Amino acid sequence: MLQKLYDWVDERLDITPIWRDIADHEVPEHVNPAHHFSAFVYCFGGLTFFVTVIQVLSGMFLTMYYVPDIENAWHSVQYLQSQVAHGQIVRGMHHWGASVVIVMIFLHTLRVFFQGAYKKPRELNWIVGVLLFFVMFGLGFTGYLLPWDNKAFFATQVGLEIAESVPVIGTDIKTLLAGDPDIVGAQTLTRFFAIHVFFLPAALFGLMALHFIMIRRQGISGPL
């Protein structure tokens, strides 16, 4: 059945050359755990991508029930957890995945740094990777407020005060994020939701595409 579907699509779009170009790409020996135990450190990038996919899929599920306003945000989360089938599991995956993806991208960044994989000709890919690191932090920060409970409220206040302490542009950054420079309220929740669901994911997908294209062109870096 799947083969017939593949043949039907291939006949119309000629996808076989594209698939062969991806599937037949050789993996260097130094990243094969069967040959080198140290090759496991090269798995952090793939694990980061895997957890990111889980975050995207679980986040799409959560947006089907989440209501981004101060009257209903907390109640919508509680409804998801208590009334929706498997809702508590999916939210738990998204909640803990947010921490796991930061750990994975941090370990991946350490591996790239200590093995010198950021050097010529991979400088641009290093810059893209660092930008991805900050985008992940932004997703974590903006997502933290969305449950609209006490912990999220006060943690966001602290985060906005830190942003405000940036020289010259700090007040503008806080106003941009919070909407109201004096209080964490309805505008803050709406803006954080928009940033978390639309703006940062768009940046994430664009940067990941660049990251993968450059990895494919330059290959996986070798040992130090």
**Residues 43 and 123 sit within 8 Å (Cβ to Cβ):** no
The whole-number pLDDT of residue 36 equals 65
The whole-number pLDDT of residue 37 equals 58
Q: List, for the chain, all residue ranges whose pLDDT scores fall below the cut of 50.
A: none
The whole-number pLDDT of residue 25 equals 72
Q: The domain 42-218 belongs to what CATH superfamily?
A: Cytochrome Bc1 Complex; Chain C (1.20.810.10)
121 cis-preceded (ω within 30 degrees of 0): yes
What are φ and ψ of residue 13, in 5° steps?
A: -115, -10
The whole-number pLDDT of residue 34 equals 62
**Residues 111 and 41 sit within 8 Å (Cβ to Cβ):** yes
Radius of gyration, CA atoms only, the chain:
21
The whole-number pLDDT of residue 216 equals 85
Instruction: For the beta carbon of residue 29, count every other beta carbon within 10 angstroms.
Output: 11
Interatomic CA distance for residues 150 and 13, integer angstroms = 53
The whole-number pLDDT of residue 181 equals 76
What are φ and ψ of residue 28, in 5° steps?
A: -60, 150
From the list 76, 83, 196, 71, the residue with the least C-alpha distance to 143 is 196
Interatomic CA distance for residues 168 and 158, integer angstroms = 19
The whole-number pLDDT of residue 219 equals 79
Q: Which amino acid makes up residue 169?
A: I
Cα torsion 131, 134, 136, 138 to 10°: value is -130
Residues 6+ apart with CB under 8 A from 119: none
Q: Which two tokens stand for residue 60?
A: 């799409």
Interatomic CA distance for residues 224 and 217, integer angstroms = 20
